Amino acid sequence: MISLGKKPLIIIICLALIVAVYFFAKQPKFVDVEIVTLEQGEVRATVSNTRVGTVKACRRAYLAPATGGQVAMLHVKEGDSVKQNQLLLEVWNKDLKAQVTLQDAQIRANRASAEQACQLGAGAEREADRMLRLQKMDHIVSEEQVDIKATGARAKRASCNAALEAIAVSQANRDAVQAAVERTLVVAPFDGTVAEINAELGEFITPSPPGIPTLPAIDLLDVSCLYVSAPIDEVDAPQIKTGMGACVSLDAFTDKRCSGTVSRIAPYVLEKEKQARTVEVEVKLTDPTDLNGLLPGYSADIEVLLSSKPKALRVPAEAVLENNKVLLMDEDGLLEQRSFKPGLVNWNTVEVLSGLDAGDKVVLSVGREGVVAGAYARVQK
């Protein structure tokens, strides 16, 4: 039995417990968040490619002989460095070279005949001149004799001219045969490196028929000059101009290479993918150290710098909500949503023109459950 004197005390204790539970339930629940304090720094407006780009050589030639035949000589192997006009491959051409030798002999014979004819012509002209002088001085010879000598001299001079023309004809024939020989040769159009050879000694090779591409006999690259070609979305392409700076990122290397310059913008839009039309943009690396280790064919991405500000109030892009809003945390931990006016934008940061101040605490973990305006938060340790 509980005495009557103890009942008021029990009632008071129960009421106190109820009030305590009530106020405990009313205490705000804190969510853990990551925050960043706004400060000034560099903000860069950039444009990047939509699909992976490729490192390419400034000069690349797929070489093959102009005429078909059996490969008689291969003067290089894959990986060799070659100089301009160096002979790389030769198709069997002994018959053509024999014709060149024959034409050389014909030229020498024609020159000898021309020399003989011209000497005879010169002698006949001198004799005709002497006859003409005798006829004028003493009339020892008749006009008929003078005419005969003059006609003979002109005829021999014509024979000399004909012999000289025969030399020109034989030289032209030799040039034609030499051109046929050169059609069987593959020479380097520039200094470069032999990347691939698709021919073997004794193998029969032919030029590619029209509209039917075949493997080139020799693939020649100039690796002293490299550039990156990458597709840019048609929406972003109008902002890019030649001469703009750019950075190149490669899957094979961890560091960015930022000596790039936009060297070419394609004058047309690629429509291979109807939903994502792109413009091909080329970036050339100018710093020799940035070319170290690069090989044609590497996958690469480009980031073209449109403009930059060295000192601007900036907020991380991951903290920005739809319609340029962020969540701020006050001293009590209350989260408040606030809009701001953006400036330069890239994948990492957004410039703040107005609406936020340096020192504001902006929530980074905006996608976390419970992180909404009006909630209470505490900084995650």
Do 249 and 366 belong together in one domain? Answer: no
Do 231 and 172 belong together in one domain? Answer: no
Does residue 5 form part of some domain? Answer: no
Do 261 and 342 belong together in one domain? Answer: no
User: pLDDT-derived band of residue 376, with 50, 70 and 90 as boundaries?
Assistant: confident
Q: Rounded to two decimals, what is the model's pTM?
A: 0.62
CB 20 within 8 A of CB 368: no
Do 172 and 109 belong together in one domain? Answer: yes
CB 257 within 8 A of CB 248: yes
What's the rounded Cα separation, in Å, for the pair 29 and 21? Answer: 15
Q: Which has the minimum average pLDDT: 158-172, 239-253, 267-281, 323-337?
A: 267-281
Tell me how many domains the chain contains.
4
pLDDT on residue 1: 45
Do 71 and 120 belong together in one domain? Answer: no
Does residue 23 form part of some domain? Answer: no
**Mean pLDDT of all residues in 184-197:** 93
Q: Residue 192's domain is classified under what CATH number?
A: 2.40.50.100
- Predicted confidence (pLDDT) per residue in 122-136, tens digit: 888 888 888 877 777
Q: Residue 110's domain is classified under what CATH number?
A: 1.10.287
- Predicted confidence (pLDDT) per residue in 81-94, tens digit: 999 999 999 999 99
- Predicted confidence (pLDDT) per residue in 224-234, tens digit: 888 999 999 98
pLDDT on residue 229: 94
**With 0-12 CB in 10 A as exposed, 13-18 as middle and 19+ as buried, what is 186?**
buried
**With 0-12 CB in 10 A as exposed, 13-18 as middle and 19+ as buried, what is 349?**
buried
Q: Which amino acid is at 196?
A: E
Give the domain extent around 265: 48-59+223-308
Do 245 and 349 belong together in one domain? Answer: no
Of the chain, the end-to-end C-alpha distance in Å amounts to: 54
State yes or no: pLDDT of 2 exceeds 50: no
Does residue 11 form part of some domain? Answer: no
Do 201 and 327 belong together in one domain? Answer: no
Do 234 and 273 belong together in one domain? Answer: yes
- Predicted confidence (pLDDT) per residue in 258-294, tens digit: 899 999 999 998 877 666 789 999 999 888 888 888 8
pLDDT on residue 274: 64
